[in-house]
Amino acid sequence: MARTEILTGNYAVAYGAKLSRVQVISAYPITPQTSIVEKLDEFVESGELDARYVRVESEHSAMAACIGAAATGARAFTATSSHGLMYMSELVWWAGLGKFPLVMAVVCRALAPPWSIWSEHNDVLAHRDSGWIIFFAEDNQEVLDLIIQSYRICEDERVLQPVMVALDAFILSHTSTPVSIPEQSDVDGYLPPPGSRRKPFILDIENPLTHGNLTYPEYFMEFRYEIEKSMNSARRVIVEAGRRYGEITGRYYDSLVEDYRCSDADVVLVNVGSSSGDAKEAVDLLRDEGYRVGLLKLRAIRPFPFEDLRRICDGKRYIGVFDRNYSFGYGGILHCEVSSALSGIKVPVQGFVGGLGGRDVTVDNYVNIFKTLIDMADRGVEPKPPLWVGLREVV
């Protein structure tokens, strides 16, 4: 029987990794590190988790150690956040472009300056092109569930790419809620035996090979094309993994997106991460007032859910995109992606930016966003440059 405990998002990650029977954990224990790796250290120390815990001297080395472990076929895990991820960046790309299946939790935080410890998505999105599968969690249950599913997805022979699970700093990472923890035997039946993976290759002194060596232009592009093929396959594998996960837990995640009351909606807002629940409450409030609005939560942003997005948004009067990130000189990153993905479908797309550096995003904010979209649809106006939600008067 699964049991339910009150867990922070950080501990939900740690329990997910433990249940996945990770074999190597590598981490650099300094701010902006989180209690994820502290809890895992406790599990290893107490003997509850049979894993090698490697305390390295930087995030860069943390990822290097994970890559080394994954290269031997071991199940590897690390966690980081904001500046830690940026310091790790070179090796994050190495892991993605080198097809090393491993899982990393990223507690999303704003990058400095000015200094911040609170949530923003630019740290993760700076790595959106690095060959990692990227999930954003809405709540602590989804955090735990995603970690477990991520090992099944990344080790699937059709995928063999690393997975990042993003959770919002404090809003999930330090907030405690009830979380259902699956039975170990169920997870054991769900995941391949740890260390059983033999593809795309494993290091073996009896059969030496080189990997990642200098590659001339006449072969290089094919390596990139292989990653894109994996990403395309991952769409199906993610759905299969989520469906199978539902069979053991009752919690089905059988889509790259979550469609909340979109089917008969006039106006749909696209959102990721922890504020999606607040947005759903806004949808319910407005539905009670007769407004036909819906929320489309993107669970995965890599691979990007083109088909779901186009299917759900087709025929709507107006689409909004809420970004907890910013690309200076352009606008919201997801707004850019959604607009591009919807090209050819005649629907206007308005960008909204908010929640930067942990600025609280409320149900009232979402009510106003939906009302703005309805008003723009009614007046038939073209989208404007991104609207900044909750911005103070500029001082």
Partner 1 sequence: MEFRFHGRGGQGVVTASQLLVASAFKVGLWGQSIPMFGAERRGAPVEAYARISNTPIRRHSQVYRPDVVAVFDPKIMEVVDVLRGLKPNGIILLNSPEGKFEHGFEGFRVYCVDATGIAVKLGLYFAGFPAVNTAIVGALARVIGILPLEAVLETISSIWSGKVGELNAEAAKLAYNSIGGV
Binding site for partner 1 (CB under 8 A): 4, 6, 117, 139, 168, 170-172, 174-178, 274-275, 277-278, 280-281, 360-363
CB atoms within 10 A of CB 332: 25
Q: Which is nearer to partner 1, 278 or 323 (CB)?
A: 278
Q: Which is nearer to partner 1, 59 or 168 (CB)?
A: 168
Tokens found for residue 259: 């469609």
Q: Which is nearer to partner 1, 230 or 275 (CB)?
A: 275
Q: Which is nearer to partner 1, 156 or 278 (CB)?
A: 278
Q: Which is nearer to partner 1, 176 or 368 (CB)?
A: 176
* Phi/psi at 189 (5° precision): -75, -20
CA distances from 228 to 131, 139, 231, 246, 388 (A): 8, 29, 5, 27, 34
Q: In the complex, what is the shortest distance from the CB of residue 280 to partner 1, in angstroms, rounded to a whole number?
A: 6
Q: How far separated are the first and last CA of the chain, in Å rounded?
A: 56
Q: In the complex, what is the shortest distance from the CB of residue 374 to partner 1, in angstroms, rounded to a whole number?
A: 21
Q: In the complex, what is the shortest distance from the CB of residue 193 to partner 1, in angstroms, rounded to a whole number?
A: 34
CA dihedral 369, 375, 381, 387 (to 10 degrees): -20
Q: In the complex, what is the shortest distance from the CB of residue 364 to partner 1, in angstroms, rounded to a whole number?
A: 9
Q: Which is nearer to partner 1, 275 or 372 (CB)?
A: 275
For 98-216, where are the alpha helices, taking DSSP H only? 122-125, 140-155, 184-190
Q: In the complex, what is the shortest distance from the CB of residue 8 to partner 1, in angstroms, rounded to a whole number?
A: 9
* Phi/psi at 123 (5° precision): -65, -45
Q: In the complex, what is the shortest distance from the CB of residue 362 to partner 1, in angstroms, rounded to a whole number?
A: 4
188: exposed, middle or buried (C-beta count within 10 Å: 0-12, 13-18, 19+)? Answer: middle
Q: Which is nearer to partner 1, 56 or 363 (CB)?
A: 363
Q: In the complex, what is the shortest distance from the CB of residue 278 to partner 1, in angstroms, rounded to a whole number?
A: 5
* Phi/psi at 318 (5° precision): -155, 145
Q: In the complex, what is the shortest distance from the CB of residue 360 to partner 1, in angstroms, rounded to a whole number?
A: 5
Q: What share of the chain is helix, strand, coil (3-state, %, to 5)?
A: 40, 20, 40
Tokens found for residue 286: 């407005």
Q: Which is nearer to partner 1, 118 or 132 (CB)?
A: 118
Q: In the complex, what is the shortest distance from the CB of residue 281 to partner 1, in angstroms, rounded to a whole number?
A: 5
CB atoms within 10 A of CB 178: 10
Tokens found for residue 337: 């992606």
Per-residue buried b or exposed e for 66-87, using 16+ beta carbons within 10 Å of the residue's own CB = bbbbbbebbbbbbbbbbbbbbb
What is the full DSSP assignment across 240-280?
Answer: HHHHHHHHHHS----SSEEEES-TT-SEEEEE-STTHHHHH
**C-beta separation of 293 from 280 below 8 A:** no
**C-beta separation of 161 from 230 below 8 A:** yes
Q: Which is nearer to partner 1, 360 or 378 (CB)?
A: 360
**C-beta separation of 293 from 374 below 8 A:** yes
Q: In the complex, what is the shortest distance from the CB of residue 70 to partner 1, in angstroms, rounded to a whole number?
A: 33
